[in-house]
Amino acid sequence: INEWFYPFHDSMGKIAGILSCAQDVTEQVTARLTAETANATKSAFLANMSHEIRTPLAAILGFSSLLKERSLDTMERERYLDTIIRNGNSLARIIDDILDLAKVEAGRLDLEEVQFSLYDLATDAIELFKDKAKEKDIYLVLSIEDTVPWRICSDPTRLRQVMVNLIGNAVKFTDRGGVRVNVRS
């Protein structure tokens, strides 16, 4: 509450009373705190995205440079190209996530409802992190129960984003053992 007091005097100069005014600023304070929290969240998001963007970009640039080596055999060249493509796709998905966040904030995110292979989507999401898991010497396993339908009707783009974020964080924050992704109906 924002308050102020102002004494007023009689003709003799004695305080005859006090004029007081109070204003409830709870809404303004709450709005300011909400805005500050949103700003801090955005800053943290951008810092994290900066790191997330640099990781696949570094792989793309590094393996592109390695492809210049004339002494590479065909199998190595194919492996490097696969790594570049996989990291390029990962980078594209990160950029899509950032653009989707902007759409969510603007209230313009549209959801799809199409049929697709959940098995293919989950397998693709796992493949993105195979190399990272191998680098960290941890396992990364996908397990899909038989009761799960092969084709489902949903939003594959959003589901892929969720799976990639969950698997990516699991791999990033796992130092021993590994990550098991279980898909159940």
Element (H, E) at 101: helix 74-106
Instruction: Tell me if residue 21 falls in helix, strand or coil.
Output: strand
Provide the residue-wise pLDDT of the chain in tens; the chain has 185 residues.
667 788 888 899 898 888 888 888 888 888 999 889 888 888 887 777 787 888 889 999 999 999 998 899 999 999 999 999 989 988 888 888 788 777 877 777 788 899 999 999 999 999 989 989 999 999 999 999 999 999 999 999 889 888 988 999 999 999 999 999 999 98
Identify the pLDDT of residue 64: 94
- In whole angstroms, give the CA distance from residue 15 to residue 17: 6
Identify the pLDDT of residue 105: 75
Identify the pLDDT of residue 109: 75
Identify the pLDDT of residue 139: 97
- In whole angstroms, give the CA distance from residue 81 to residue 69: 13
Q: Please give the C-alpha separations between residue 169 and each of 46, 156, 164, in angstroms, as whole numbers.
A: 16, 20, 8
Identify the pLDDT of residue 49: 79
Say how far residue 15 (Cα) sits from the centre of its chain.
Answer: 63
Identify the pLDDT of residue 1: 64
Identify the pLDDT of residue 158: 85
pTM: 0.54
End-to-end CA, the chain = 53
Token couple for 185: 């109906």
